[in-house]
Amino acid sequence: MRKRVLLCVGLAGGFASNACSPGTPGSRTAGPVAVAEGGEPSSSVPDSGGAPRACLHDAKDLAPCVEDCDRRLVFACTVLASRTERGDGAPRDLTRAVHLHERACELHDAASCVSAARMHAAGAGVPPSRARQVELLATACKLGDALACSMPARALASGNGVPRDERRATELWERACTAGIASACEAIDAGD
């Protein structure tokens, strides 16, 4: 039986698994890779038949997605969130799904922020929360989803379900207007 050694190298975004040990100096790949004794690549999981496991959108086995999400890889968290929300390949669990969407949002995925906001608005898996919905949509706006800016801007401008905050509302309207959302530009003009 061959001995396996985990090689850990930096990821593009600066994340690396904390459980990795140093490997061959100067080697560069896109994440932790198991290397068999002697330096040849091997599976990151001993019983995977020699092929590295990867989180794939349509894979039947979601275990690699769980591992990658735990390592803070946003793609894996988004796959897990959407599949858990639908009950596709995993038991349908709305509470877990909303938390996975929020985790991907924290990892700067604007679409996941919107998904989590939708679930908070509907009370899907969590108690309904207008304040959390507004917060998540504002985050999506700041991450570049201009269409997500209008609803939190209106809520903050009017104090509808959240404390009134004209400064934040204006900031969100300006982001949306700069991105070409005409209604946001109109809201700014109407506020002057």
The pTM assigned to this predicted structure is 0.70
Statement: residue 141 has pLDDT above 50: yes
CA distance 34 to 171: 46
Q: When comparing pLDDT for 124 and 24, which is higher?
A: 124
Backbone angles phi, psi at 5, to 5 degrees: -125, 135
pLDDT grade for 35, boundaries at 50, 70 and 90: very low
What's the token pair of residue 49? 């038949």
Helix %, strand %, coil % for the chain, to 5? Answer: 50, 5, 45
Residues 109-123, mean pLDDT to the nearest whole number: 98
DSSP annotation of 191 reads: H
Statement: residue 12 has pLDDT above 60: no
Inter-residue contact 159 to 186 (CB < 8 Å): no
Radius of gyration of the chain (CA): 21
Inter-residue contact 96 to 69 (CB < 8 Å): no
pLDDT grade for 170, boundaries at 50, 70 and 90: very high
Q: When comparing pLDDT for 154 and 24, which is higher?
A: 154
Q: Mean pLDDT, the chain, as a whole number? A: 78
